[in-house]
Amino acid sequence: MKELPNELKITYIITIAIMMFFVAFIIFVVLMYNRKQLLYLKEKQLKEAEHQNQLLQKELEKQKSIELERERISHDMHDDLGAGISALKLQAEFLKQKAKENDLKSDIDELLKTSEEMNISMREMLWNLNSGNDTLGSLIGYTKIYAENFLRKTTIALIVKEQNIISDRPVSAEVRRNIFLCLKESLNNAYKHSQASELNLSFLQNNNEFTIVISDNGIGIRKDVVEGNGLRNMKRRMKELNGECKIVPTEKGTELLFKVKI
């Protein structure tokens, strides 16, 4: 086999070298492009993270501002409205002592009853406004105390049960308020209509799902009875929370279920 001329060899070597140079250049360009793309993506992610942090900081500042305003309103209500109601109650009691006519005493008793109801309503609002009560434990504790006090002067025995409750689980003021008002309405209905001797109040938690079950051993709800304002209001409140309110079929008595995500 004849050897290639030197000129052809040199040309061949130069051609290969040029091709290798172009391949290396293309690889270099691709690597630089990928590096720039990676840097761009990292910079974009960093800016996005910084933007999210700023939004989070603003949201935290907003929440803090709301909490401070809630605390201010709570203190103002306690100091001003609370003191006014107490003064009204004292004056009514003083007038009752001086009154001689039975009709006047009856009117003063109504005034005292109204002032006491206002005082209870104010305490409930103060509890709801206090951001320190934004936990599941506070909600359950307050509702248990209310139920015990409400049924104390009745013939209905209260039985309370708790299951898998995480007391420090955060709960918004809106959820606390609506759940508590539903419980009040349920207790009031049981007292007025159930003719029960026993009422069970159960609190259950399953991860982020919170359930309250209120059941009694009374006469139950007749099927031909039209749904009243109380039940409609409870369903509306739970719907506002994207929750659930329903009457559970039972052989005896009435069972109400309230379920909401927390």
* Strands 255-261 and 157-163, bridge-based pairing: unpaired
Instruction: Kindly report the CATH class assigned to 134-261.
Output: alpha beta
- Among 189, 168, 182, smallest CA distance to 213 is for 182
Kindly tell me if the per-residue pLDDT of 210 is higher than 90.
Answer: yes
Confidence at residue 205, expressed as pLDDT on a 0 to 100 scale:
93
Confidence at residue 96, expressed as pLDDT on a 0 to 100 scale:
73
Confidence at residue 75, expressed as pLDDT on a 0 to 100 scale:
63
Distance CA 134, CA 130 (A): 8
Confidence at residue 136, expressed as pLDDT on a 0 to 100 scale:
92
Confidence at residue 157, expressed as pLDDT on a 0 to 100 scale:
93
Number of Cβ within a 10 Å radius of residue 135 = 17
Confidence at residue 224, expressed as pLDDT on a 0 to 100 scale:
56
Kindly tell me if the per-residue pLDDT of 82 is higher than 70.
Answer: no
Binning pLDDT at 50, 70 and 90, where does residue 216 land? very high
* Strands 157-163 and 198-206, bridge-based pairing: parallel
H helix runs in 130-226, sequence order:
136-151, 173-189
Confidence at residue 69, expressed as pLDDT on a 0 to 100 scale:
67
256: three-class secondary structure by DSSP: strand
For every residue of 165-180, which 3-state class applies, written as one string? Answer: CCCCCECCHHHHHHHH
Tokens of 178: 């609506």
Predicted model pTM: 0.63
Kindly tell me if the per-residue pLDDT of 3 is higher than 70.
Answer: no
By percentage, how much of the chain surpasses pLDDT 70?
85
Distance CA 245, CA 234 (A): 7
Confidence at residue 198, expressed as pLDDT on a 0 to 100 scale:
93
Distance CA 241, CA 262 (A): 10
